[in-house]
């Protein structure tokens, strides 16, 4: 456009180049170059109809870029929060499992032990033998004292 003599023709040329880069389905799509040429057109030919259209396109593209960045940040925030929620659900499940295990363990501790009849009988017999042994010891002590007198 340095060689361009007619402002309107120069503005059309720059707008066409910018549009080719700015249009998403264009094989030459390049958002940065599209913005660059629209901004160039706005600076050099602001009062032409093409300059005014370039202003609209530029503003729209900048808002679109800002919106896309915001969407990307929100998407990452959601992904992070989803991960946090999944981790918290796992912790809750683990806690509930631990709590259930503890309750089961407490029930076992609190339940009276079942008495095995054979063991119970043997235990009583041993207690009787111990008592007899004590009685014998007491009797032996008593006899020793009598002998010592």
**Residue at 19 is within a domain:** yes
40-44 contacts at long range (C-beta below 8 A, 24 or more positions apart): 40/14, 41/11, 41/14, 41/15, 44/1, 44/10, 44/11, 44/14
% of residues, the chain, pLDDT over 90: 74
Distance of alpha carbon 62 from alpha carbon 58, whole angstroms: 6
- Structure token pair of residue 74: 């929100």
Last residue of a domain, one of 30, 48, 66: 66
**Residue at 123 is within a domain:** yes
Asked whether residue 74 carries a pLDDT value surpassing 70, the answer given is yes
Last residue of a domain, one of 48, 66, 84: 66
**Residue at 39 is within a domain:** yes
Residue pLDDT, tens place only, 105-128: 888 888 766 768 888 889 999 999
Distance of alpha carbon 84 from alpha carbon 76, whole angstroms: 12
**Residue at 31 is within a domain:** yes
**Residue at 76 is within a domain:** no
Domain tally, the chain: 2
Last residue of a domain, one of 23, 46, 66: 66
Domain that holds residue 46: 7-66
**Residue at 35 is within a domain:** yes
76 band by pLDDT with thresholds 50, 70 and 90: very high
18 class by beta-carbon count within 10 Å (0-12 exposed, 13-18 middle, 19+ buried):
buried
**Residue at 51 is within a domain:** yes
């Amino acid at each position: 456009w340095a060689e361009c003599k007619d402002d309107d023709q120069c503005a059309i040329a720059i707008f066409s180049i910018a549009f080719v880069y700015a249009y998403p389905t264009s094989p030459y799509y390049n958002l940065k170059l599209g913005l660059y040429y629209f901004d160039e057109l706005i600076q050099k030919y602001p009062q032409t109809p093409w300059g005014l259209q370039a202003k609209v396109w530029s503003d729209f593209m900048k808002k679109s870029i800002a919106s896309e960045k915001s969407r990307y940040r929100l998407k990452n925030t959601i992904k992070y929060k989803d991960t946090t929620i999944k981790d918290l659900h796992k912790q809750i499940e683990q806690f509930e499992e631990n709590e259930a295990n503890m309750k089961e363990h407490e029930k076992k501790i609190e339940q009276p032990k079942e008495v095995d009849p054979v063991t119970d009988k043997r235990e009583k017999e041993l207690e009787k033998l111990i008592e007899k042994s004590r009685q014998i010891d007491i009797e032996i002590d008593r006899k020793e004292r009598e002998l010592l007198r």
